[in-house]
Structure 1
Amino acid sequence: MFGNAVLRRFGLWANDCRRSSSSEFPAPRDKKGAVPAAAKWNAATPYEILATLGEGTFGKVVKVRDRERGVTIALKIIKNVAKYREAAKLEINVLETLAKRDPDGKHLCVRMLDWFDYHGHICISFEMLGLSVFDFLKDNQYHPYPMEQVRLISYQLIFSVKFLHDNQLTHTDLKPENILFLDSSADVEYNMKKKRLNFEINETTTDRLWIGDLRSRTSFHYRVHAALQGTRELGWSQPCDVWSIACIMFELYLGFTLFQTHHNREHLAMMERILGPIPYRMAKRTKTKYFHHGKLEWDDRSSGARYVRENCKPLRKYQLSDDEDTNLLFDLISQMLVYEPSQRLSLDQALKHPFFDKIPAESR
């Protein structure tokens, strides 16, 4: 089994954190808050940068060797920019709070090992984890995960994000890139061909979910369209995480993205093609340029319309078989992709869906 799907960046273990003073290390000479170059960093700190794991607008995540402890860890280095510093401080507070509420780590949250302020650069260290769910998929030429892995990863992802929801938190950036396996060593059979990849396939492997913008691939595909987030009732709340998880489950099963577009109007057209018309009441209340009198403004003769017709179809038509597992999976996905947030399945309800009945008690 691929193990348990879980949280990274809202993961913890802040109990053992050090809070080093920036005065311990010489000041970097960076510009506009940029992260210091590896050579300067290696010379000025006890951490040796070995590789870049990901970059984003906030800064970067690097693989480092802690020369004092002799261990390899992941270090998130935030740009010395006020808004990113404040966001990092909030992240640390969340990590510490969740660590206190889950001291045994049963909710599969990532371990924050340490944090410190390096001359304005907030740095947070985490345990080193393996490939992401997306990278594993990509390395297998986008062959979808086996059904049992779809089931287990989905269950553990829902279980972990539910822990956030139970603590009045909303993720808002769930995507396959943010779900990481605990380590890397696997022997997986795809289409009767064995492919050696770095993943341990067993019942005890725990995955982690990383919350953060680490790659160029946008999370646009996994979000409820912004036009449907226009009011307080429709805004960024816990049901938006439910939608994102459903999109991830679809991708695990089929190997490709449900809403493959970067264009707002086209995104809405895809939603209507796959899920049916957006309810009149919601469309009327969006107050955006995409709707007129409660109906999506969309030219059926355009090249975009042709693309949507040729590449999208009603949700149930994506099923590769009509067996019980597939029917249950798509029943669950459809209930998590209901337009009305108040009618969308909650994560507590999702965990009780019959699709997960085959997961043994020891894997829950």
Structure 2
Amino acid sequence: MMEKLQRSDLQSLEQREHNMVTEPSVHSNTMGIQDNDCGSWRDGDDPNTDVQADKKPGSLNQHRLCTPAETGNPLAESPFLGDNAVNAEDDGVKSGPKGKSCEDDEEGHLVYHVGLLMKERYEVVLTLGTGAFGKVVECIDRHTERRVAVKIVKNIDSFREVARSEIAVLEEINSLDDDNRFACVRMLDWFEHEGHICIVFELLGLSTFEFLRQNKFLPFSVKQIRHMAFQIFRAVCFLHRNKLTHTDLKPENILFVCSDNDDVEAVKVFEERNLNVKVVDFGTATFDHEHHESLVSTRHYRAPEVILDLGWNQSCDVWSLGCVLMEFYLGRTLFMTHDSKEHLAMMEKVLGPIPPNLLKQSRKQHYVHNESLNWDEHSSSNDYIRKHCKPLKQCMRRNTEEERQLFDLLSCMLEYDVCRRITLEEALWHPFFSPLRTQKQQQRS
């Protein structure tokens, strides 16, 4: 039985006042600022693959959340559907008599038809996608006439067990944040249908990754990054203060709230309501008192202590968010690799040498030679790193005060030593967020 946690709200962020800084204007008709040095995805690499090797089965990369008519692609949010996502048109779902359901298929998925009514309440409208854990469908809640996303988990014991674990986490989040102050996705309901656990979520908009992709990977502006980061940091700080680590923070798991503006054109101009976001996917979220798997996080956002098998805590979320903010700023992944040692070498190129004491403590001693990273600087892989990686401060586009503040915050988040890495509660008081704190104070007065 999960221990009941006491509600813990964040310290008020309106108590201190800092000077305002000038915001850059948004590039004409585009989200963010065009920059020829922003780069692109590494050729042949899929940014949505290489999820942790031992990720719990059925870890919910579930939601999506916009319709095919809005995006032209039912898998616009495919990262939420797991590594084995397939097009909804190819998943065997066919139109049929309303309310008619069939037995499971050979993989354990529920075979259903558009029009199926589950729990005498949720009517299937369309399939949003299919993944290793099950399927996600958009439904009309006939009690409220509201559209929702329903994840239908495979009828397999291991997947059912993980689904129940996620439900417990989501119920705890709902209980601790019953007035929805923090930007975590809301579970609206859950039920069983013919042996399948079904989880009902609010329907959200595009993921930040999908937005970047549709916008040709043009980066967000610093003002836009600040607005989104403040919400994300408050949400994850709320989790941390309630003894929970997300473990899989990435652009695919940060979704825009605005579901009636899911096309890119609608949110290119900076408007607060269009840039409100929520954190999703608690399939691998872990409470402090629970067993910590040795390998967590999606590759590109994985902290060095995880790669080096040093053990991890909530600070691994801070590292992941540092990588996310850099991706928002650059328009590309900071550490685009599928090899752990190459990943560490990239970190050294961007952040400097890994401290010898961390390498000495690592259980992965094949990565270490003479208390340094065991890396061949004459390899073709090193040529790739030299081409695509440069020291953090050299990534700064403009030497403005707000960009200096952003990169100072990033350097505190991308700190090798977890004892020295900034916490999210500390990060929320960083000068980078001063304009938002001042704005909130003015709104309250």
| Structure 2 residue identity aligned to 1:115 | W
User: Alignment RMSD, CA only?
Assistant: 3.0
User: Which residues in structure 2 correspond to 1:320-339 (within 5 Å)?
Assistant: 320-339=397-416
Partner of 1:258: 334
| Structure 2 residue identity aligned to 1:56 | G
Task: For 1:64 and 1:38, locate their aligned partners in 2 and report how far apart those are by CA, in whole Å.
Answer: 13
Task: For 1:201 and 1:227, locate their aligned partners in 2 and report how far apart those are by CA, in whole Å.
Answer: 36
- SS of residue paired to 1:258: coil
**Alignment CA distance shift 1:353-1:225 (3 Å):** same
More strand by share: 1
The CA deviation at 1:331 is 0.5
Give CA deviations for 1:150-196 in whole Å, capped at 9, x if unaligned. 001011101000000000000000011111111245699xxxxxx72
- SS of residue paired to 1:103: coil
Partner of 1:141: 216
The reply on whether 1:220 has 2:268 as its aligned counterpart is: no
Task: For 1:227 and 1:163, locate their aligned partners in 2 and report how far apart those are by CA, in whole Å.
Answer: 23
Partner of 1:210: 280
Task: For 2:126 and 2:405, locate their aligned partners in 1 and report how far apart those are by CA, in whole Å.
Answer: 42
**Alignment CA distance shift 1:228-1:166 (3 Å):** same
The CA deviation at 1:37 is 2.9
- SS of residue paired to 2:187: strand
Give CA deviations for 1:274-322 in whole Å, capped at 9, x if unaligned. 1111111111111212222322111111110100011111111100011
Partner of 1:196: 265
Give CA deviations for 1:220-260 in whole Å, capped at 9, x if unaligned. 111114654523xxx23100000001111111111111001
The CA deviation at 1:29 is 1.9
> Is the CA contact 2:110–2:154 (under 8 Å) kept in the aligned structure 1?
no
Partner of 2:317: 241
- SS of residue paired to 1:98: helix
Partner of 2:344: 268
**Alignment CA distance shift 1:242-1:54 (3 Å):** farther
Give CA deviations for 1:301-353 in whole Å, capped at 9, x if unaligned. 11101000111111111000110111110100010010011110000110000
> Is the CA contact 1:228–1:283 (under 8 Å) kept in the aligned structure 2?
no
- SS of residue paired to 1:341: coil
Give CA deviations for 1:261-284 in whole Å, capped at 9, x if unaligned. 111111111011111111111111
The equivalent position to 2:113 in structure 1, one of 26, 35, 39, is 39
TM-score by length of structure 2 reads 0.68
- SS of residue paired to 2:247: coil
Partner of 1:286: 362
The CA deviation at 1:113 is 1.3
- SS of residue paired to 1:342: coil
| Structure 1 residue identity aligned to 2:214 | D
Task: For 1:296 and 1:353, locate their aligned partners in 2 and report how far apart those are by CA, in whole Å.
Answer: 32
| Structure 2 residue identity aligned to 1:220 | R
Aligned length: 333
Task: For 2:108 and 2:140, locate their aligned partners in 1 and report how far apart those are by CA, in whole Å.
Answer: 21
TM-score by length of structure 1 reads 0.83
Partner of 2:309: 230
Task: For 1:358 and 1:308, locate their aligned partners in 2 and report how far apart those are by CA, in whole Å.
Answer: 36
> Is the CA contact 1:49–1:65 (under 8 Å) kept in the aligned structure 2?
yes
The reply on whether 1:352 has 2:429 as its aligned counterpart is: yes
The equivalent position to 1:60 in structure 2, one of 135, 139, 144, is 135
Unaligned 5+ runs, structure 2? 1-25, 32-59, 62-98, 284-296
| Structure 1 residue identity aligned to 2:156 | V
Q: Equivalent pairs: percent with the same residue?
A: 43
**Alignment CA distance shift 1:51-1:334 (3 Å):** farther
Task: For 2:106 and 2:308, locate their aligned partners in 1 and report how far apart those are by CA, in whole Å.
Answer: 33
The CA deviation at 1:43 is 6.9
The CA deviation at 1:61 is 2.3
Query: Which stretch of the first structure deviates more once superposed, 96-105 or 167-176?
Result: 96-105
The reply on whether 1:30 has 2:104 as its aligned counterpart is: yes
The CA deviation at 1:67 is 4.4
More helix by share: 1
The CA deviation at 1:199 is 7.6
Partner of 1:312: 389
The CA deviation at 1:95 is 1.5
Partner of 1:91: 166
> Is the CA contact 1:222–1:243 (under 8 Å) kept in the aligned structure 2?
yes
Partner of 2:9: none
